[in-house]
Amino acid sequence: MGDRTDVWQGTLALMVLKTLEMMGPQHGYGIARRIEQTSESLLSLNYGTLYPALLKLEQEGAIVSDWGVSENNRRAKFYKLTRAGRKQLEKEARNWQQATAILNRFLSPAEEQS
């Protein structure tokens, strides 16, 4: 899997939250596909690892779940962002951007000088 990166623990939760914010209520399979597509298949994701992460977010109150019917008429469990989840997403996204910005300055100082 040469140029495909494993998902970092911790970032997965952020990806899930962001995906749910973008797509609205979605089932586990849909979220997994979406994450894969968004990363343009650079990420290798065992779909199974998504479910403990979803459960953790649900236990923390960031998302809620309910059974519903998918677009092609299959029964599926849909996850939805809560208000607390939205806040968590904002906060973690900001943290993440800050962290990457700082790292960027270290990794490409030349850009900074110009």
Partner 1 sequence: MSALRQLRAWLLRLSGIFRRTPNHAFSDEIESHLQLHIDDNIRLGMSPEQARREAVLQLGGIELTTQHYRERATLPGLDDFMQDLRFALRQLRRNPGFTATAAIMLALGIGASVAIFAFVDAALLKPLPYRDPARIASVTETVAIMGRADLSYPDYLDWKRLNNVFSSLDIYGGGGGLLNTSTGALPVSSLRVSDGFFRTLGVTPILGRDFYAGEDLLGTPNTVILSYAGWQKWLHGRADVIGQKVTLDGIPTVVVGVLPQDFDFAPRGGTQFWLPFHAKGQCDLRRSCHGLEGIARLKDGVSMQAASDEMKAIAAQLEKQYPADNRGQGAAVDPLSEIIVGVVRPILLTLLAAAGLLLTIACINVSSLLLVRSESRRKEIAIRGALGASRTRLVRQFLTEGVLLVTLGSVLGLGMAAFAMRAITGPIPELMMSRVPFLVGLRLNTHILMFAAGVALIAAFLFALTPVLRLPLAAMRDGLADGGRGSASTFWRRFGSNLVVLELTIAVVLLVCAGLLTKSFYRLLHVDLNFQPDHLAMVGVMAPDSLYPKDENVVVLQKQIIARVAALPGVLSVGLTTVPPTSFNGNTNWIRVVGHPYHGEHNEVNFRNVSGDYIRTLQASLLRGRLFTDVEDASKQKVVIINKELARMYFPGEDPIGKKMGNNELTPDSIREVIGVVDDIREGSLDSQIWPAMYDPIYQDESNYFTLMVRTSQSPGSLLPTLVSTINAIDPGVGTADPMTLEQRISEGPSNYLHRSTAWLVGTFAVLALVLGAVGLYGVIAYSVSQRTREIGVRMALGAQRNSVYRLVMREALRLSVLGIGIGLICAVGAATLMRSLLFATAAWDATTLASVTALLGGCALLASYIPAHRAASVNPVEALRSE
Residues that bind partner 1 (CB under 8 A): 27-30, 33, 46-49, 51-52, 55-56, 59-62, 70, 72, 74-77, 84, 88
Tell me how far, at minimum, the Cβ of 107 lies from partner 1, in Å: 29
Distance CA 55, CA 113 (A): 45
What's the token pair of residue 17? 């939250």
Closest to partner 1 by CB, 33 or 86: 33
Answer yes or no: are the C-beta atoms of 28 and 45 closer than 8 Å: no
Closest to partner 1 by CB, 15 or 45: 45
Closest to partner 1 by CB, 48 or 109: 48
Output the CA–CA distances (angstroms, integers) from residue 46 to 43, 50, 107, in the order listed.
10, 8, 30
Tell me how far, at minimum, the Cβ of 18 lies from partner 1, in Å: 18
Identity of residue 112: E
Tell me how far, at minimum, the Cβ of 106 lies from partner 1, in Å: 27
**H helix or E strand, kind and range, residue 81:** strand 75-81
Tell me how far, at minimum, the Cβ of 84 lies from partner 1, in Å: 8
